[in-house]
A and B are shown apart, each in its own frame.
Chain A
Amino acid sequence: MKHYEDFTLEDFVQDLYFRKWVLGSLNQNDSFWENWCKENIEKQEIIEQARSIIIGLQYFPEEENQEEIDSAIQQILKQRDKDHLKSIKRYPIRNIAAVFIAVVLMGIGLGKILPIATDNTHLSEYKSSDKIHWITNESDSTRSFMLPDSSSIILNPLSRIGIMPDFNKNDRSLQLIGEALFNVQPNSEKPFYVFSENIVTKVLGTSFIIRSYEKERNVSVSVISGKVTVRKNSTTVSEEQQEIILVPNQQAVISKTDEKIIRKLIPAPVVVAEPEKLNHLHFNNTPITEVFLNLETAYGIPISYDPNLFKNCNLTARFSNEDFFQKLDLICETLQADYSVVDGQILIIGNGCN
């Protein structure tokens, strides 16, 4: 129980219980203050002053316009989604403004998974060494740094990179726990390897992301530019080895449980063609084969289809900001065809045109 009889005017003005009474928001059955005032008649003046100040210090909330607020919130959500798309497009190294299209078919790609021959010795060798130099990012934001060979790495939060002894001597080997983006300086004489959890990624080209968090079920490798190969890191010679080559816009997902490697497309493929090689994606009664070729070139994603079936198809369309899959949707709708993503490629299925 507070000692209200000792309260100063300032204390009353600030007392929540008293304020509620003055402002009429107390329970109607609560007659504490009425009674208190009767019993403490000598406090009447101070009580009256406190009441006036509380009332005087009220703010009139401006008319609250719920419609205005709702539309402001919608606007924020819309902008957020837009930013999200933009950030995906910006991420990759080449940002070509508007491009593309198209589509389709064929299949396959399984042929790219080649049995692998040799060396799985790297990791075990390095593991036996205690001279790995670890770089850890425990901050809240990404951390970037340059390796001795001028390759650069952007290390995500809660991730670490181990630089092997003898890095850049005969080869360039790293260990990764967590997620990082690599921008590798080409040097065919010193292959660049990243060991993460159960896989080895060998870099033939330049820029890619590996995600390998201990807590996650899968490890993934996404390629932004250049080429990389991915294989399981296994020391059991008898185990059948799988190696796949990834090109831009492709992603390998490796399950830690069954050790399968699956080739997919990254969620938002980006245009990878050099600007000078890039044809604009405006089509005017253009043979579909040409459309698909332009699209393949723009995104570096193989499109397979049966040329005989589709040889009579033409497309008239102007593509601009649609993303890769939106373009595919539009084309397939026109062709009355379907597509599926198989092994990192697009397979177009339909009856063609007469």
Chain B
Amino acid sequence: MLSSKISHASKSKQRNISPEEYAVHIWLSFKQGDESAFTELMELYYSSLLNYGNRFQKDREFVKDCIQDLFLELWRTRESLGDVITPKSYLLISLRRKLLREKNRMRWFMEADPISEDYEFEVQFAIETYLIKNEIQHEDLKKLHVSLDSLTKRQREAVYLRFYQELSYDEIARTMSINYHSAVNLVYEAIKFIRNNWMYP
């Protein structure tokens, strides 16, 4: 496994391809049944998936189980998967669906819409930790803290995907099952909301 990893890595160096191209290259190799590419796919994205999953569901082990199921399903069905352009957002979308579905199932809402709006999205913004750590009494920062808390969960998620996972609006839209403009609006509204509540209380 180690040696194959090195070979992938050196391939990417030789050709001097971008991380995006490299991700697609790994995805295609994985689809053809390349086991080392499968491992690498997990190494590239596991921590992003775990982090994202934890926004919905605090139970870390539960999220890890879902990620495991997700990768096992991918391996089983690899031959019939599409040639996705951005493996990362594809994985995030798949995990999101799975988590919401599993969560609903656990609540006995067997028939519920799998993409139920009934979900949590929790984010620990840096500002909170920053405030606690430094015992800062600065009024402005405190207000920012309050206004971040008042973001809707959709705004939080969009902001998180944009600034933490660094997805494009297109990818955010697909991940959240909304259209492009809604994705843009969510992020802009979140920023506007913060500004209005913070700068001009």
Contact = CB atoms under 8 A, between A and B. Distances in A.
B37 to A, nearest CB: 13
Nearest to A10: B191
Interface residues of B, number: 41
Nearest to B189: A10
Contacts of A69: 43, 46-47, 50
A77 interface: yes
A316 to B, nearest CB: 38
Interface of B: 39, 42-43, 46-47, 50-51, 54, 64, 67-68, 71-72, 75-76, 79-80, 123-127, 129-130, 140-141, 144-145, 148, 159-160, 162-164, 187-188, 191-192, 194-195, 199
Interface string A125-149: 0000000000000001100000000
Nearest to B124: A60
12 contacts: A52-B141, A53-B144, A56-B144, A57-B148, A58-B125, A59-B124, A59-B125, A59-B160, A69-B46, A72-B68, A73-B42, A79-B72
A62 interface: yes
Contacts of B129: 60
Contacts of A53: 144, 191, 194-195
Contact of A57 (B42, B67, B71, B163): B163
Contacts, number: 89
A72 B188 contact: no
What secondary structure prevails in chain A residues at the interface with B? helix
A187 B51 CA distance: 59
Contacts of B160: 59
Given A10-B195, A83-B76, A140-B79, 15 more contacts: A14-B162, A19-B163, A55-B126, A56-B125, A56-B141, A56-B148, A57-B148, A57-B159, A57-B163, A58-B126, A59-B125, A59-B126, A72-B50, A72-B67, A83-B72
B72 A52 contact: no
Given A73-B43, A76-B68, A157-B80, A49 B148 contact: no
Given A56-B127, A72-B68, A62 B54 contact: yes
Given A57-B125, A57-B163, A141-B80, A73 B187 contact: no
B79 A157 contact: yes
A333 interface: no
Contacts of B191: 9-10, 13-14, 53
A76 B188 CA distance: 39
Contacts of A6: none
Contacts of A76: 42, 67-68, 71-72
A83 B74 CA distance: 13
Given A9-B191, A56-B127, A56-B144, A80 B39 contact: no
Contacts of A64: 47
A61 interface: yes
A273 B141 CA distance: 75
Contacts of A55: 126-127, 130
A9 B187 CA distance: 13
